């Protein structure tokens, strides 16, 4: 009889596990299957070798092309390199983090290590209240312009370091990638309790809302909306948090909650008809203006929300809302004119700038990873036909273009650490 009851208990535990799992995971994305869709092949019938050549051409132009018109990657001594914002003539944590991610996805270890050493040497604070955070803006000689953090930089840097650890193994010193990633994760969650923090620097994730803050900074001056009291929808990366929940040495429960909170937040932040997201929002999803206004509209940061929603679904299939959202967003831009839609809008769809921007074209193509309507093919084709961005605006447009190519081609992948 005891064996019978033991068997019943095991069955109940088994069923409870799978019921709980279904509550958080609706399907089997790339994390489970190890398969990544190549939409250039699936929707446009482009041969794989042509896709590989297109990606290689983009890498060669943006990283090693003409320094006046094509490249944004520049080597510096000793053994370092940086991604340059050409238009502003500076270096930003956003660009460095994207550069690191592109390098690890394409198995470019030398470029990765050079970028990481520059980031570590010049951008990461070595002491003081901001210790282990990264300054978001520096001169090309490494001098810090603004010591504050743009929180997405830390997020992408951590994820790139974890992938580097899994893909190449850990080295020593600053090239112990996993250890470096964990240090930044610990700082993001426990900064306010660190010895030496004078109270002006906060955690990068809000403890109550489990959401990324715009910037972990409590200004000394009186300010109505300090940077830690609101967020940026494009900073919400639930697919990254899912991996940290599995791979981090501690705080795993928090990262699972952050993934759930991020998905819940994005549902509230996007417009229910157009699918457009604001640049900045409160933690309940309400759009908010800051730094002179305009950030309650769909502008440059908000382009990336399409990428975050679609990639999260492609990797984890956690919520079929991503399909609805991606279809809705592509419907809006298709109705605005597939070849002519602008790059800035009010959330209800009034065009604020009619520039047809290659960066937004790339981000909308990534939305096709989650979309199911027939219009998605046109957006993927638009990305395929785009030339590699060049000229003074190539920094942001080129980074979005390169990330778009990797994701739409199935080249942007999860690299799992060794068991």
Q: Let me know: does 62 contact 402? Beta carbons within 8 Å.
A: yes
Buried b (16+ CB within 10 A) or exposed e, 325-347: bbbbbbbbbbebebeebbbbbbb
Tokens of 409: 């081609």
42 is an active site residue:
no
Alpha-carbon gap, residue 308 to 248, rounded angstroms: 21
Element holding 245 (H helix, E strand): helix 238-247
The residue annotated as part of the active site, out of 70, 85, 90, 94, is 94
Listed residue (147, 156, 164, 138) closest to 83, CA to CA: 138
Q: Let me know: does 273 contact 262? Beta carbons within 8 Å.
A: no
94 is an active site residue:
yes
DSSP-assigned beta bridge partners for residue 81: 75
Alpha-carbon gap, residue 105 to 156, rounded angstroms: 13
The residue annotated as part of the active site, out of 70, 90, 301, 319, is 301
Q: Let me know: does 62 contact 394? Beta carbons within 8 Å.
A: yes
Alpha-carbon gap, residue 306 to 325, rounded angstroms: 9
List the catalytic residues.
94, 301
């Amino acid at each position: 009889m005891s064996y019978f009851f033991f068997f019943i208990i095991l069955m109940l535990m088994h069923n409870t596990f799978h019921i709980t799992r279904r509550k958080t995971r609706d399907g089997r994305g790339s994390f489970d299957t190890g398969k990544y869709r190549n939409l250039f092949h699936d929707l446009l019938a482009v041969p794989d070798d042509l896709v590989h050549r297109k990606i290689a051409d983009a890498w060669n132009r943006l990283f090693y092309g003409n320094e006046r018109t094509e490249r944004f990657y520049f080597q510096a001594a000793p053994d370092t390199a940086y991604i340059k914002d050409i238009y502003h003539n500076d270096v930003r944590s956003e660009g460095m983090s994207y550069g690191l991610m592109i390098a690890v996805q394409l198995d470019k270890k030398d470029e990765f290590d050079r970028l990481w050493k520059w980031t570590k040497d010049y951008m990461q604070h070595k002491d003081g209240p901001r210790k282990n955070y990264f300054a978001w803006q520096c001169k090309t000689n490494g001098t810090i312009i603004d010591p504050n953090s743009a929180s997405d930089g830390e997020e992408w840097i951590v994820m790139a370091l974890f992938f580097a650890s899994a893909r190449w193994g850990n080295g020593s010193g600053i090239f112990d990638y996993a250890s470096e990633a964990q240090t930044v994760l610990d700082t993001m969650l426990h900064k306010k309790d660190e010895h030496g923090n004078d109270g002006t620097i906060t955690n990068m994730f809000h403890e109550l809302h489990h959401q990324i803050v715009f910037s972990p900074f409590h200004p000394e001056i009186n300010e109505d909306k300090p940077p830690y009291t609101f967020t940026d929808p494009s900073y919400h990366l639930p697919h990254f948090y899912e991996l940290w929940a599995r791979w981090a040495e501690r705080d795993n429960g928090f990262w699972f909650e952050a993934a759930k909170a991020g998905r819940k937040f994005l549902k509230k932040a996007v417009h229910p008809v157009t699918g457009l997201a604001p640049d900045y929002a409160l933690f309940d999803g309400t759009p908010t203006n800051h730094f002179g206004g305009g950030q309650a509209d769909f502008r440059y940061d908000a382009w990336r929300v399409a990428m975050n929603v679609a990639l999260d679904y492609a990797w984890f299939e956690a919520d079929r809302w991503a399909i609805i959202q991606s279809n809705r967003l592509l419907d809006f831009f298709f109705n605005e004119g597939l070849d002519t839609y602008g790059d800035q809008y009010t959330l209800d769809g009034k065009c604020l700038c009619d520039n047809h921007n290659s960066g937004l074209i790339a981000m909308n193509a990534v939305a096709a990873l989650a979309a199911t309507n027939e219009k998605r093919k046109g957006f993927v084709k638009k990305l395929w036909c785009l030339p590699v961005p060049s000229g003074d605006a190539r920094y942001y447009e080129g980074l979005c273009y390169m990330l778009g190519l990797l994701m739409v081609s199935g080249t942007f992948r999860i690299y799992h650490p060794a068991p």
